[in-house]
Amino acid sequence: MLPFLFRGTFGVFRYAFAWVVTGHIATLLFVAGVILLMRRQSPSADVRLTRLTAILLLCPFLLNYAAVAAGLYPFGRTRQCVFLAMFGIAGVSVALTRIAKQKFGSALAMVIAIVILCHLFGTQPSRDDLPLADRRREHMDQAVQFIRRQVSPADVIYVNKSTDCQLAHYLCEQKPVAADRSVAGFESFQCNGLRVASGDVMPDTLSYKWQELAGAYSLRPATKVWVVEGGWTSGFAETLRNRFRKFSDIEIHSFGHYLEIFSLTVEQRETGKVSHL
């Protein structure tokens, strides 16, 4: 857990500043800023105020750490943690102010040095995302064509929430869709005669979550559930095939490294309560 939190803290600043080197420097400056506030020597009232400021800057990170430990919230280089940026930047500003001794020339020299470091040793923002070759429109067009050829109205397409948004945009030809949230744990919509449901699609949970989907929507035996994974996980289906025997014979259809489709077949024992998708 501690190594994860350590990497995640650097990841938050890396995400906020969009440069690897700047993010690492900013993390160290934030820690320095908090320490400077805690150790500031001044009249008693100011000491209490500055220490309270340091605690307030740390609290959001500590609360996020607790949420991670409880399994309630993500942490690291992700948009869900961007709210931490305002507290992180405030701490960085404290350190920079003290280092520059509130002199414009010194502050400008530090900025120039950081920019030079970024260009010499940094990773550009575009390289911190998915590779450009895997973000081509052609991959999604090919996947949509495959779905239209292979998926029947009797089947169900199962995706995670982020892939749900992509699929709704391209498969539904940018037409508005009405989401159905009547089934706990899942969200669904109809698109050009096809049924799409979104829920938890992770390597460690898919082995039983797709069965919950089959039971929740009362899918008949032999119904195909097409899993479409278009997130950040490369080799998602291969991981399943290697880790779980029940997935050892799945046929993987890949469109680039981050967009995969494979099907699972509902068995008699996997049907359950009646609902309508």
Identify the band that residue 124 occupies on the pLDDT scale cut at 50, 70 and 90. Answer: low
> What is the CA 113 to chain-centroid distance, rounded?
32
Q: Do residues 65 and 178 both lie within one domain?
A: no
Structure tokens at 186: 């899942």
- Do 245 and 158 fall within a single domain? yes
| pLDDT(247) > 50 | yes
Over residues 60-71, mean pLDDT: 89
Nearest to 275 by CA among 212, 183, 178: 183
pLDDT, tens digit, 9 for 90 and up, residues 2-42:
888 888 899 899 888 877 778 888 999 999 999 999 887 66
Single-letter amino acid code for the residue at 29: L
Which of 259, 64, 53, 56 is CA-nearest to residue 163?
Answer: 259
Query: Do 9 and 31 reside in the same domain of the chain?
Result: yes
- Number of helical H runs and strand E runs in the chain: 9, 6
Q: Is the pTM of this model over 0.75?
A: no
CA distance 217 to 237: 24
Report the pLDDT value the prediction gives residue 149, as an integer from 0 to 100.
Answer: 93
DSSP type of residue 97:
H
Q: Which pLDDT value is given to residue 151?
A: 93
Residue 47 sits in the same domain as residue 149: no
Least confident interval from 31-35, 74-78, 232-236: 232-236
Mean local confidence (pLDDT), 115-132: 64
Q: What whole-number percentage of the chain has pLDDT above 70? A: 88
The number of beta carbons lying within 10 Å of the beta carbon of residue 86 is: 11
Residue matched to tokens 């950040």: 232
**Lowest mean pLDDT segment, chosen from 9-13, 46-50, 207-211:** 46-50
As a whole number, the mean pLDDT across the chain is: 83
- CATH code of the domain covering residue 254: 3.40.50
Instruction: Count the domains in the chain.
Output: 2
Instruction: Look at residue 129 and tell me whether its pLDDT is greater than 70.
Output: no
For residue 277, tell me if it sits in a domain: no
**What is the arithmetic mean of pLDDT over 97-106?**
85
Residues 118 and 238 in one domain: no
Whether 62 and 82 map to the same domain: the answer is yes
- The band of 156, judged by pLDDT with boundaries at 50, 70 and 90, is very high
Domain limits for position 235: 133-270
Residue 16 burial (CB < 10 Å; 0-12/13-18/19+)?
buried
The verdict on 121 and 154 lying in the same domain is: no
What is the DSSP secondary structure assignment for residue 237, as one 8-state letter? H
Tell me what the mean pLDDT of segment 154-160 comes to. Answer: 91
pLDDT confidence tier of residue 276, bands split at 50, 70 and 90? very low
Q: Determine the residue type at 146.
A: F
